[in-house]
């Protein structure tokens, strides 16, 4: 564990951003070169959304992992911003490629379709998080208020997973895995604080 932590301390953040853009590169390459199957629109939309969900889950895993001694908090901002990027592109793919800019149909969907409402709610919850992702924003708000605001990530992950469940016809292993992981990552946050840190606590920049 200490070796992993030492390794993580030496890993520059730009590497995480670069790796995080790999799925996007694959999707864009697939869109131009083919290989996304018979329905590239659905494939693009789905992969963007799922990647966003995966990065959000990864960012939410940082705190629980820290409690068992694995300190990856340096990368949390990168994971969160990558998640926001993918979720935003997922929304663009829905509006433009899937719905074909049919604004009236989208407005109806936004008013009455729970999966669209939940998806939009998740996206809306991520907006203030992305907007306050800089060090300057943390300083301006103060760490306590900032941390409180960033609990919106819990809203985002619940909305995101519910959004996915609602637009699928049956329960698949994949969907159950997303749901289980999200609930697990939220549930461990309810454990009493003293369960924290078997290792000596060290001070990290947020």
Partner 1 sequence: MRRLTWSDVTPKPLWLNRRQIIAGGMAFAAAPALAQIDAAPSVFSTSEAPNSLEDITSYNNFYEFGTGKEDPAAYAGALVTDPWSITIDGLVDRPGSYDLADVIKDQPMEERIYRFRCVEAWSMIVPWIGFSLSGLLNRVGVQSGARYVAFETLVRPEQMPGQQSAFIEWPYREGLRLDEAMHPLTILATGLYGEPMPNQNGAPIRLVVPWKYGFKSIKSIVRISLVDKMPQTTWNMLQPSEYGFYANVNPNVDHPRWSQASERRIGAGLLAGRQDTLMFNGYEAEVASLYAGQDLAVDY
Alpha helical stretches, state H, 12-149: 13-20, 22-33, 40-67, 76-92, 103-112, 114-131, 135-141, 143-149
* Residue 165, H or E segment: helix 152-166
Binds partner 1 (CB under 8 A): choice among 40, 92, 152, 197: 40
Smallest CA-to-CA distance from 41 within 93, 101, 95 is with: 93
Contact, 87 vs 127, CB < 8 A?
no
Residue bearing tokens 């998740």: 122
**Closer CB to partner 1, 2 or 39, in the complex:** 39
For partner 1, the binding residue among 33, 101, 111, 190 (CB under 8 A) is 101
Is there binding between residue 64 and partner 1 (CB under 8 A)?
no
Answer for which of 2, 22, 28, 114 binds partner 1 (CB under 8 A) is: 114
**Of the residues 8, 21, 31, 70, which one makes contact with partner 1 according to CB under 8 A:** 31
Closer Cβ to partner 1, 112 or 202, answer by number: 112
What is the contact surface with partner 1 in residues (CB under 8 A)?
31, 37-42, 44, 97-102, 105, 108-109, 113-115, 166-167, 169-172
């Amino acid at each position: 564990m200490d070796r992993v932590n030492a390794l993580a301390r030496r890993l520059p953040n730009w590497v995480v951003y670069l790796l995080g853009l790999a799925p996007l590169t694959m999707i864009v390459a697939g869109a131009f070169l083919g290989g996304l199957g018979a329905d590239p629109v659905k494939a693009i939309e789905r992969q963007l959304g799922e990647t966003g969900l995966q990065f959000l889950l990864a960012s939410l895993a940082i705190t629980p992992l820290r409690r068992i001694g694995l300190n990856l908090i340096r990368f949390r901002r990168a994971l969160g911003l990558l998640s926001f990027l993918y979720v935003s592109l997922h929304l663009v793919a829905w509006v433009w490629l899937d719905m074909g800019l049919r604004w009236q149909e989208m407005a109806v969907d936004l008013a009455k379709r729970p999966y669209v409402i939940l998806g939009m709610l998740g996206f809306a919850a991520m907006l203030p998080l992305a907007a306050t992702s800089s060090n300057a924003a943390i300083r301006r708000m103060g760490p306590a208020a900032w941390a409180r605001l960033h609990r919106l990530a819990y809203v985002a992950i619940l909305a995101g997973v519910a959004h996915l469940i609602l637009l699928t016809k049956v329960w698949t292993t994949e969907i159950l895995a997303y749901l289980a992981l999200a609930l697990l990552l939220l549930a461990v946050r309810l454990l009493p604080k003293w369960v924290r840190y078997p290792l000596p606590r060290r001070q990290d920049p947020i």
